[in-house]
Structure formats: structure tokens, C-alpha cells
Amino acid sequence: MSDISTPFQAPIGTHDVLGPRSGQWENLIATFAQFAYRYGFSLAITPMFEDVGVFNRGIGENSEVAKKEMYVFADRGERVYALRPEGTASVVRAFVQHQPTTPWKAWYVTPAFRYERPQAGRYRQHHQLGVEVLGTDDPALDVEVIALAWRFYEAIGLRSVRLLINSMGHDECRGAYVELLRSHLELHASSLCDEHRKVWDENPLRVLDCKKDACIDVTFNGPMLPDHLCDDCREHFDAVTRGLRSLGIVAELHPRLVRGFDYYTRTTFEFVADALDGAQNAIGGGGRYDKLAEQLGGKAAGGIGFGSGIERLLLTRAAENEDPLNFINRTLDAFVVDTTGEDVATVLVDELRSAGIACDRAYDGRSMKSQMKVADKSGARFALLVGPQELGAGEVTIRDLRSDNFEQAQQKAARNDIVTAIANLLTK
């Protein structure tokens, strides 16, 4: 039990996002929402926890995330739930449950929980922006979903992003490929990394995903998935890469890209930012999951989507030395400094706020000097000063807090005209 004199801290691997940094988050989320609506998506909000089966069946019981990283708990009614480790399975569960008209396009912003070893860019609670489309396997949608992500990264000013793409085929062609891979791994099992030497047989595809040199060396000369696609899957993949080329989006074929979840079929892709450290450089990833709706008890329905980590997007901008995002202004327009000892500030801020002007004020009857300090710190553009003198004259002194020239920085306005005066000054 913690000592009452020791303040609590946020849990390991989690972080608080507070102002003014949270303004970056608002900008990012609002921009993504705008993109999603522009592409015909509507917001989906699903519970943060689901029956553990949604994820075990969805992302695969044997996936690293389900086996080692999920936060699983029994509630007071002894139902076994898991905190969402990712967004897709929940959205597909909602699709199966509500059977909306297809194609169904949903976007989301959500925390995701994974018991990982925390480090820069890897957290136990991270946050994702994502989209999912269900009800069609048209390759035009693969192109559209990838284009949405690509254009979004462009819009937020990222410059070091590369798109890696692969096709996992469907059950049959992938099944045949896995057997070829299995034979190859069996021959070279003793050369695999410590972990995969023991478990390669459980899911040979995971070895392709391993970042250790030993596994990369073994698989480098082995069979590669794209060379073993059936005609339908090959055609689908060709249509996707052709579509991306027609939009001028450069995709690098990455035959080892199998991604960490079992639900993927056909197109898989990942966006990496070269400005980030190699181990945590994936800023987004996704793919098709044409069997997932059935695996969760629904009718057959093709699906595709992607998720992008908010923390990593912002880390990329910082690593690329970009200014903070400021599409949406989150700074105060005005700060009221009231030394009348009356309720002037209460009425003035109400009037300004009702007119759409962002403003704040000081509290606790502080001195003029102390209120001015708070006004300066607040980042507001103007301080509105009302003392006994202004009160008597029916005026307000307006001081431009960004100007160094004291003469020009200060002017008076009639109390009754203050809203118009500030609105005019803000347009200059």
C-alpha cells in the first residue's frame, strides 16, 4: 500500500497529456476527423473492453498481443473481459452485432492497452486514430484507405514517411505457402533466434516478422509470400499497387510484412517514419481481414482498415523539427485584469465568451501586478484592464501583450463597445 505522503504517479508505461501539449492532440484528431468525413466515414464509439473472446478469436489466441500483452480481467459478475489492445476487432464486433448497410465506413480515435516493455514510442496505453470499411473486397477500397492515411500524413506535414506493402493471400494460397516456409524453417531451425528456435513450428509466419538478424538471415533465402499467391489474390494485389501508382503514392513491396495479428488476409501495409528510431518507427499499419466478420459470428464480409499511433505521429513531427501543429487556434484572445474589487470581470468575460471570444481572468482578488503576470503567462493576445479609474470613466484599457512598444501597445475603448473593439483588433 502506498504511503499517504507519497503522491501517486500515472501507471508505468502511461502518460498524462496536458495543455498546452494537448492542443497538438486536438489538432491531430480534428484533422483526422475532417479527413475521415471527407472520405465518407462516420465516427464509431465502442466499449473500451470486450468479451476476451472478441480479441482471442479476432487477433488470434497465439498472437504475441493476445498471449503476452492483453489486460484481461474478470468483473464482479465473473465475466472475463479484456481492455481493447487495438481498434479493429471491436469495430468488427459492432458491425456483426448491428448489421449496418454496406459498405460500412467507420473511423475511431481510441486508447489501446498492451502490456509492453515501455520505452520511447512504446507505451502500455497508447492512442490510435483509425478507420475500418466492411462489406466489400473491392481493391479500390484498399487504395482509398491507404490514400486516406497517406494524404493525412501529408496534411500534418510529415516528410519522412514510407509505405511498405505486401499481400498475405487468402486462406488457401497462404496455407500452401506456410507449408513451404515450414519445411524451410525445419531445415534451418538451429540458426533461428533464441525465441523462435523453440516456437517456430507454432506459427511459422511469426518468424518472418522477427527483427533479429538470425531470423532475417534464415528467411532471407526462403520462400516469399508474394511469389506464391493464387491468381485471384495476385490480381487483387496488382489492382491495389496499380491504383496506388495512379495516385502517385509510392509503395515499396516488403515480402516479410506479415503484421502481428492473425486476422489479416491479402493486402497488408505499414507506414514507417525514417525520422524515428528503427524499433518504433511504424507510425501506422493495417490491411484486409476478409474472414474476421465470420470469425466473430457474422456473415462473410470483406474488410480493410488501418490504425495510426498518435504518440508516434507527434514524435515524428518533433523528430523532423516541425513547429507544433496549429491548424486550430487554442490560444486565448483576451485576459481580463480587474482591480475594481467588484464583479466587473465576471460580467465582462461572460459577454466576450458569448460573442465567441476566448478569454479568461484572474481570481482570488490578486494585485494588478500579479494579475498581469498571469495574463502574460496565459498566452492571451490582449489584456483588458479595468481599475477604479476605468470603471468611473466607463472604459476598458486594452493592452497588446505581444507588442514591445508600450505606447502602441495600449489603447482605450468604451466599456459598451469592448466586444466590437476586440473583435476588430483580432482580425488585424
- Chain-centroid distance of CA 303 in Å reads 20
- Closer of 126 and 196 to ligand HAM (Cβ): 126
Q: If binding is defined by CB under 6 A, does position 308 make contact with ligand HAM?
A: yes
Q: How far is 396 from 411, CA to CA, in rounded Å?
A: 9
Q: Which residues contact 187 (CB under 8 A, 6 or more apart)?
A: none
Q: Judged by CB under 6 A, which stretch of 2-10, 119-127, 208-216, 249-257 contacts ligand HAM?
A: 119-127
Q: CA-to-CA distance for 349 and 343, rounded, in angstroms?
A: 11
When asked if residue 128 is in the footprint of ligand HAM (CB under 6 A), the reply is: yes
Q: Is 309 in the site for ligand HAM (CB under 6 A)?
A: yes
60 part of the interface to ligand HAM, by CB under 6 A: no
Query: Judged by CB under 6 A, which of 50, 132, 144, 390 binds ligand HAM?
Result: 132
Nearer to ligand HAM, 129 or 336 (CB): 129
C-alpha span between 384 and 340 (Å, rounded): 13
Q: Mark the segment that binds ligand HAM (CB under 6 A) among 41-49, 206-214, 244-252, 304-312.
A: 304-312
Count of helix runs (H) and strand runs (E) in the chain: 17, 16
* Relative orientation angle of helices 139-155 and 22-38, to the nearest 10 degrees: 150
The answer to whether 137 contacts ligand HAM (rule: CB under 6 A) is: no
Sign of CA dihedral 343, 348, 349, 351: positive
Q: Cα separation of 293 and 170, whole Å?
A: 15
Our CA dihedral for 413, 419, 422, 424, rounded to 10 degrees, sits at -100
Where would I find the beta strands (DSSP E) of 232-368?
Answer: 251-253, 265-273, 282-288, 303-309, 334-338, 359-361
Site string for ligand HAM, 75-104 (x = CB under 6 A): -----------xxx----------------
Rounded to a whole number of angstroms, the minimum distance from the CB of residue 30 to ligand HAM is 19
Is 312 or 361 the residue whose CB approaches ligand HAM more closely?
Answer: 312
Residue 126 CB, shortest distance to ligand HAM, in Å, is: 3
* Residues 261-300, mask of contacts with ligand HAM (x by CB under 6 A): ---------------------xxxxxx-------------
Q: Are strands 72-74 and 80-83 parallel, antiparallel or unpaired?
A: antiparallel
The verdict on 316 binding ligand HAM (CB under 6 A) reads no
CA–chain centroid gap for 199, Å, is 32
Q: Should residue 302 be labelled a site residue for ligand HAM when binding is judged by CB under 6 A? A: no
Q: Which residue is nearest to ligand HAM (CB)?
A: 309
The residues with which 414 forms a beta bridge, in sequence order, are 395
Interface with ligand HAM includes 162 (CB under 6 A)? no
Q: Can residue 305 be called a binding residue for ligand HAM (CB under 6 A)?
A: yes
Q: Residue from 116, 195, 351, 400 that binds ligand HAM (CB under 6 A)?
A: 116
Indicate the residue among 139 and 287 with the shorter CB distance to ligand HAM.
Answer: 287
CA 255, CA 360: separation in Å to the nearest integer? 56
Beta carbons of 256 and 55 less than 8 angstroms apart: no
Q: Which residues in this chain contact ligand HAM in the complex, by CB under 6 A?
A: 86-88, 114, 116, 121-123, 126, 128, 130, 132, 260, 282-287, 305-309, 311-312
